């Protein structure tokens, strides 16, 4: 079984969050979840957190392949738009190993 690079990044992100929260708890600091919760109820930071959360949610759900959400969601996905722009400018191919020699 081959694990795709994107899946490896999700695994790395999960490991990072677990390790960071463990370190924060061991050293008597607030966890990332506590800081997130505090930011959501803060009168100024709430808007930054909600905007980032909303953009990430649209990005993740717009890319579900089974048609669960309308394709029009892709129009509102700034992260996906940036990825498409980078791919179109740089002659990138998706799901191609970086170790292959260009033909």
pLDDT band at 65 (very low <50, low <70, confident <90, very high): low
**pLDDT at 98 exceeding the cut of 70:** no
| Euclidean distance between CA atoms 69 and 62, whole angstroms | 7
Give the span between the Cα atoms of 49 and 39, in whole angstroms.
7
Name the one residue in this structure whose structure tokens are 């600091």: 29
The pLDDT of residue 23 is above 90 = yes
In this predicted structure, the answer to whether residue 30 has a pLDDT above a threshold of 70 is yes
CA gap 94, 4 in Å, rounded: 11
Residues 32 and 20 sit within 8 Å (Cβ to Cβ): yes
Give pTM, 2 decimals. Answer: 0.65
What is the pLDDT averaged over residues 3-26? Answer: 95
Phi-psi region of 10 (alpha: psi -120 to 50; beta: other; left: phi over 0): alpha
């Amino acid at each position: 079984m081959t694990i795709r690079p994107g899946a490896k990044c999700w695994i790395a992100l999960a490991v990072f969050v677990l390790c960071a929260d463990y370190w924060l708890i061991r050293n008597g600091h607030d966890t990332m979840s506590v800081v997130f919760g505090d930011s959501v109820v803060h009168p100024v930071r709430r808007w930054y957190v909600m905007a980032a959360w909303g953009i990430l949610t649209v990005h993740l759900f717009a890319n579900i392949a089974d048609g669960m959400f309308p394709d029009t969601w892709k129009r509102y996905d700034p992260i996906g738009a940036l990825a498409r722009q980078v791919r179109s400018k740089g002659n990138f191919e998706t799901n191609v190993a970086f170790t292959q020699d260009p033909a």
